[in-house]
Amino acid sequence: MGVNYIGPKPGRNDLCPCGSGLKHKYCHGDNGKVALCNRIVGEFMSRLIQKERHDRGISTDEEYQEFLDMCNPKMPPKVVTEHDVDEILDKANLKRCAGALCGAPIPDTEEFCMQCKLKYIGG
């Protein structure tokens, strides 16, 4: 009833996944207590939001919305391209192994990784 579970539904004596600290049977497992729990959680979250806004110096609703947009876990992750990986390797003084289909990061002074050396040269 209004509760969406990620993963298996908890047992009656398991802790409720909402984080209330109550057993599931006394919290979201009991339809009569769901509204009370949601109200308490809502009030708690409201206090946390106000504290976070104060701590971060966010005074306007627009600044708060920008903060939420930046922190939104539902945003699609940034696509990492080969160019991004190459830049990271360059900054770390690394390059890709020259072995066929390998591409493992190796020091700039080497040509092949240890696995490719063993496969192509010593194996």
**Residue 64, CB-side half-sphere exposure with 13 Å CA sphere:** 11
- Residue 35: band (very low, low, confident or very high) from pLDDT cuts 50, 70, 90: low
Q: What is the pLDDT of residues 71-87, one digit of tens each?
A: 766 656 667 777 877 88
Domain boundaries of the chain, sorted by first residue = 1-75, 82-122
Q: Which segments of 20-71 does DSSP mark as H helices, in order? A: 31-56, 61-71
Here the tokens at position 33 are: 């207590």
Say whether 9 sits in a helix, a strand or coil.
coil
Here the tokens at position 114 are: 């240890």
Q: Say what the pLDDT of residue 13 is.
A: 83
Task: Give me the amino acid identity at 52.
Answer: E
Q: What is the pTM of this model?
A: 0.33
Q: How, if at all, do strands 94-96 and 105-107 pair?
A: antiparallel
